[in-house]
Structure 1
């Protein structure tokens, strides 16, 4: 079937070497690990922990983070094998093109764009709120008419515009700034953990798993699909609350997959990518659990401020100076998240453009910077306008469903590629295949079913738009359709990769 046509690994590698469409290999294992931490630490700790604890799981939100980490860990193993075997820009999109076919690759690419572009917009709005909070703590009043929640959020627009120009200047330059900001962010997170321990009250953790109860967060269109299908009474807290919380805080882990989007820019991708992907995930999981336990120990979960949980927790115990420091750290931390998501969105779109599923001119790289400057500016403008003009609210769930869908398909692709191409050199192999990839896909599906009906409806609309673009444009312009030399369909037996 033409919809299941695949592009061989050799064709994928050949396309990445085309003059004018080639990225520079400048990133080390440390760069990639910092890159992952830069996007993972931020959204979850600074914007989701408080809301998820108050509305879904109480102190047991720490268990939600563990469940999210397990699902991400299984998916991370699959990403690590793919990224070290096919070190090409595009992450899950590129991997699936070589295994599951062009249509599935398009679906995953479309999902990744939803994840990263909308994710950058959501986090930019959170950054704007924290900056206004910080300015207020310093005695500076920002005009509400151009602040967060207004008709035009100037702060989030300026943030994305500035980061877009930085990313266009070069990947290494971007990651130098990222390294400094990640250092600041890690200091703040460790400060929260250590300082907060002195204000923890054990009675705030009781009950650790609050009894299940009806709640507004799980009624109507907000009801998780699994509860709606099974006929169970919509509820929050309890075991179902922990699972619903895991589906929400999963947003906090999007990051290690963004590392895979920079595979083509890694100096030694076969070694460095698995280190960057798995290393950043492990570090961040430990920090997430520690922070969630400290916050729910400092403040009884019904009283947690969902907008600025960390800062207000210290205000509640009379440490306003600590709250100011944390707000400053949140501003730095969320800056790295937005920058990393912008880079990821640009690299996925770059790969899709190079395959001609999107206009080919978007994949042209600048001879000096080695980056797709035109594409970077377009992505930046779109994300800046969405962040400034759209009351996004709870749309982080849209990011989750796009990410989980991509994770599920990547996990299923591992056994497929093992069977189709046993000859490929794999610097990293998923242990326990095919059982581990199957478990990863199953867990991803379970978390998807714990997302709300409203999220599913929005996701269906997004996918229908994607299918319209594919069938009316991408399918007929694809390199596999036009017979371009670098992307022509491999009609014979695949050749062995040159390992010499």
Structure 2
């Protein structure tokens, strides 16, 4: 007679909340494996080279750091590179959807993994909104240039200008991206790769043409807001050099995740670092930091030196190029949400893919929420929603690398972070430093969101976790 095994739920214990996902998680086949190395690099660059180049660099220079925006981005790049090496090790060891959520679940335990995943749901959604706002600024520049202006109420979020009620372009863009993602990974990856190529060409034009209009006097004073301003600018700009995480969230869609993911992270981070430093050098050299147009800095800069046509070309390229950043981050948040649901930590409804093998049940809620944030929050407030959680993710990934080096030294690693524990500790140190520079309201929002997350975990996630089922 067959023995029937009864499945029950384990009581909540400290060891239970710290249970860890196995390193060698079997592939569930939920996604099509359609992305090669250069498609992964393009996806990563789509997240890395976006609003940071075409909009946020101008915001940081104008409002926070002045010409020391160079220092701001240099600090952010160093911190990002240290963490990126840790991500590369995890990506080659655990090529699964979810990125930092999955990595922390494997290395540090379920509750930490859940909280990082919960955090990333907000962070990535907010990043999508920030990028959409940046795109909207350039679309408004284009429509104004050709003689067509939206009504004042549709030009920006409340508080972003007199009479502004909603950023219509930003809101609609978020919904459009959700539609594109719902069409399938292979198709959307092709679009992303093409758009990234256009973006890199436009960035090269910006740098080469801008060099001839640099005025050395614009670099003085270099620290108009003090050294503290440059550090604060680094905290604000940090998410701009974090796009490789968005790419690692899509690891299950890679043709060979263990081999290709680490390479894609390192290649894209190196390219993006050079681009950001050159772009910052050009924008504050062309225009005095006090005169930088926050919504469309480069188009306005070239317009101011009598190159309005080039400014228009840049605006069109920015719309095309910056959209790739929103695309990469929306893809990332949907994969994190899908992975958490598949693991039982969120309702299973969101852990089912469509006939096209894409997580449409996550995509559309994310599209709507990001649209609301983009439509009704100014860019700086939206950006401040992103950074603290991303920095927290950096910290746990770095800690995870150090822990697994001790607990699983035998695990198969396609890439090994050099100089452990020095490199992870550098990433942790920079992240803590940058977190300390964030505003009080950022902390308040972050804590409120984490408290909500704890409620979801205790009330649902722990009891429904796939790791919580035990034979009785």
- The TM-score, its normalising length taken from structure 2, stands at 0.92
Q: Which residue of 2 aligns with 1:219?
A: none
Structure 1 residue corresponding to 2:218, chosen from 199, 204, 208: 204
Which of 28, 38, 54 does residue 17 from structure 1 map onto? 28
Q: Secondary structure of the equivalent of 1:396? A: helix
> What's the CA shift string for 1:340-372, capped at 9, x where partnerless?
1110000000110011100112111224x2212
Q: Which residue of 1 aligns with 2:313?
A: 325
| Ranges in structure 2 where 5+ consecutive residues have no aligned partner | 1-13, 158-163
CA offset at residue 202 of structure 1?
1.4
Select 1:451's aligned residue among 438, 451, 458: 438
Q: Is 1:250 matched with 2:238?
A: yes
Distance in 2 (alpha carbons) for counterparts of 1:152 and 1:246: 28
Match runs of 1:232-247 below 5 Å: 236-237=225-226, 239-247=227-235
Contact persistence 2:42–2:196 (CA under 8 A): yes
- SS of structure 2 residue aligned to 1:444: helix
Deviation at 1:442, TM superposition (A): 1.3
Q: Is the Cα–Cα contact under 8 Å of residues 261 and 347 in structure 1 kept in the other structure? A: yes
Deviation of 1:126 after TM superposition, in Å, equals 2.1
**1:408 counterpart residue number:** 395
Which position in structure 1 is the counterpart of 2:148?
A: 140
Equivalent residues of 2:129, 2:382 under 8 A apart: no
Which residue of the partner structure matches residue 73 of structure 1? 81
Aligned pairs, number: 452
Deviates more, 1:343-352 or 1:328-337: 328-337
SS in 2 for 1:476: helix
Shift of 1:83: 0.8
Q: What is the rounded CA distance, in whole Å, between the counterparts of 1:393 and 1:399 in structure 2?
A: 10
Task: Give the SS at the match of 1:103.
Answer: helix
1:325 to partner: Cα distance: 1.1
Determine if contact 1:119/1:341 at 8 Å carries over to the other structure: yes
Aligned to 2:92: 84
- Per-residue deviation, 1:167: 0.8
Distance 1:24 1:9 in 2: 22
Classify the secondary structure of the residue corresponding to 2:107. Answer: coil
Find the aligned partners of 2:76 and 2:372 in 1 and give their Cα distance. Answer: 31
Match of 1:396 among 383, 400, 424: 383
| 2:407 corresponds to which of 420, 441, 454 | 420
Q: 1:342 and 2:330 equivalent?
A: yes
2: distance between equivalents of 1:184 and 1:269?
26
- TM-score norm. by structure 1 comes to 0.87
Where 1:323 maps in the other structure, the secondary structure is helix
Q: By how many angstroms is 1:391 displaced? A: 4.7
Residue 220 (structure 1) aligns with: none
Query: Is residue 167 from structure 1 mapped to residue 181 from structure 2 by the alignment?
Result: yes
CA contact (8 A) 1:251 1:397 kept: no
CA, structure 1 residues 302+151, in 2 after alignment: closer, same or farther (shift >3 Å)? closer
Stretches of structure 1 lacking an aligned partner (at least 5 in a row): 211-235, 489-500
**Deviation at 1:392?**
5.6
Instruction: Please report the RMSD computed on the Cα atoms of aligned residues, expressed in angstroms.
Output: 1.7
In structure 2, the partner of 1:217 is none
Match of 2:132 among 124, 136, 154: 124
Distance 2:371 2:385 in 1: 18
| Superposed CA offset, 1:423-477 (max 9, x none) | 2110100011122112211111111111112211111111111111111111111
1:7 aligns with 2:21: yes
**1:158, 1:410 → 2: CA distance?**
34
Judging changes above 3 Å, is the alpha-carbon distance between structure 1 residues 197 and 392 closer, same or farther for their aligned structure 2 residues? closer
Answer yes or no: is the 8 Å Cα contact 1:76–1:256 preserved in 2: yes
Distance 1:262 1:203 in 2: 45
